[in-house]
Structure 1
Amino acid sequence: MKYRQLGESDLRVSVISLGSWLTYSGGVERAQAAACVYKALDVGVNFLDTANVYGRGASETFLGEVLKGVDRGSYVLATKAYFPMSDSDWGLSRAQILKQIDASLKRLRTDHVDLYQCHRYDDETPLDETMAALTDVVRQGKARYIGFSEWPRDKIEQAAELQSAKSGAPLFVSSQPQYSMLWRKPEQDIFPGCAALGISQIVWSPLAQGVLTGKYKPNAPAPNDSRVASPQMGSMMPRRWLETPVLEAVEQVRRVAQEAGVGLAQFALAWVLRRREVASAIIGATRPAQVVENAAAADLEIAPELFERAEDILAAVS
C-alpha cells in the first residue's frame, strides 16, 4: 500500500480507502461487511470513510461495532453531515453541526474523527455560521481536520477567504468529488482550484459504481450478485452508464487493461491515482477478495500511452 499526505494536514492516508455508502448501511450482509473491513486493514488500507446519512446512522453504527478493539491510532476515520437525518435535522447550521457530530461520535464509539466533512454545500445557512461551527468542532477535539464533498469552486474559495481572515480557524484539507474515467468533470475546475489552496482530493465512485470492473456486459442482464441487481443498492446507479454504447466502450478499455497485464478495476483505479491531486480513491467492496484486488492498484505502474488510449475510447461516452 502507498500513502499520500491529505492536504496541509499531518494525516497520511492510503491511496485506496474503504467507503460505506451503500455497502455497509444494509446492502451487504453484516459478517461479510465486517470481513471486508478487516481485510482492508490487513492489506494496509488505513482510511475509512462514512457519513451520518448512510442508512440513517446504520453505517456509522456498523463501523463503531466492528472497529471496537482495533487500535484507534491505526486508522484514519472520516464522516460527514448535511443530508436529512429526520424531517427537521439536516443542513450545516451551527445547531445541526454540533448536534450531528455528537451523534456520529456516539455511533462510531470514538471521541473524535480525523476528518469531518460537509457532505454538500448548504445554501440556506450563512457560510460564516457553518465555518464558525466547524472551528468549534475542531477546537473541542471532536474532529482533527475538516473537508467538504461536492462543493462548487466559488464556495470553496469563499470559505478559504473566511478562514484566512480569522486567526486560528481550521483550514479545509480535503475535497470529495465523484471522479472516474466515466466522470471527469472535477478536472476542469475543482482540481486546479483546490490545488491552489493546498486541498487534496478524496474521490468517490472511482469504478463508476462497478461499471469499470467490466461486470456489466452489453446487451446482457446484470449479474445476480451485482449492485444493479440489489434492491438496496441498485436504485442509485446512473442508468446511462448501463447503456450499450457505454458498456461497449468499457469492454474495449478492458482489452487495453489486459495489454497492461492487469484487471479493468485495477486499471481504472490506477488511472485515478495518476493524478497527484488525488490523495485517495474510495472503493465500496462487497467481498474481501475485491478489497485485495483493488488494493493492489496502489502499486501499479501503467504506461501513460495506455491511459491515453483508454481516454480516447471513452471520450464519446464519459
Structure 2
Amino acid sequence: MGRARPDVDTALRILRDHAPELSTEMVPAFAASGRVVATPPLAQLPVPRFRASAMDGFALASDFTLRASADDPVHMLVVERYGAAGVSPESLRAGEAARIATGAPVPDGADSVLIEEKAVSTMVGGGRRLSLTTPVPAGSNIRLPGEDVPAGAPLVARGKLLSPAGIGLMVAAGVPEVEVRRWPRVRLVSTGSELAADAASLDHHPARIPDSNGPMLMAALREIGLPYHSSHHAADEANQLEKGLIDQDADILISTGGVSAGDFDLIPGTLEKLGATIHLHASRQTNIVRDASG
C-alpha cells in the first residue's frame, strides 16, 4: 500500500518546514501590499504625533469647569479662531474655549474637548458664549501622542503578509520602505503526450486535447499577485521530463499530471533521479489478480 495521504494542515506544515527562505529586498511602503515581511518595520513617528481632538467640539481647560452646575453654570468665551486639522493652534487663555475639528491639534491651555452635541452656546454682545452646567473631565476626547502607536514600536510581525491596512499603518507611522521577501520565481510544467500547446495543432492530432492546465495556473498565479517565471510542456518521456523540470532560477516548480501509478506517471521517479526528496505523495494502488493458470 502507498503512504497515507496527509490532511491539509499536515501537508502545509511539511511544506513550511522544508521551504527555504527567499532573499530579501527593500520596497516602498506604498507598494508593499501582498508582500511577506522579512524585518518588522518600526514606527518612525508616534501616532498621533500630537495631542489630537477625537471629536468635533470645543477645546477648553477642565479646571475652569469644576464648579459648573445647573444652578450655577460656568460661561466661557468662544474665540473666533477655529482649530482645523493640519493647522497649528494658538494658545488659549483662562476662560476661553475654541471650536476644534476631529484630528486637529489641541491648543496649549486646553486639556479637554467638549463634543459638539453636548455644547450649548449663545451669542452675547457680539460674541459667542459657551455655557456649561456640568464639569468637563480632564482629558476628555483627546488622543495623546503615541496613544495608537508609540515611536519605535514594531508595526507588522516578521513573516506576516502585508495588507492594505498594514500599508496605511506604516505610512501613518512615517515608515518610507520595508524589507520584504522577494517574489518567488515559479516554473509551470504541464506533462502529458496527449496535450496540445494550442488549438491550431488539434487538426493534425485529432486524439489530443488542449493544454488547459498551464493557462489556468498562470491565471491563478496572477490572481494572487504572483507572476510566473517560466512555463514548459513535456511529453511523457523521461528525457523530456528531466529537461522540463530543471530550472536553476526557479524557486517553485508546479507540475501537472504524471504522479499516479500508471506506466506514464514518470514525475516522482524523475524528481528522485534529479536529487529531489519527496516528502508527501499518495497514489492509488492497483491490485493485479491472476488466475491459477497465469
What's the TM-score bracket when you normalise by the shorter of the two chains?
Answer: under 0.3
Structure of greater Rg: 2
Higher strand share: 2
What is the TM-score normalised by the length of structure 1? 0.25
Higher helix share: 1
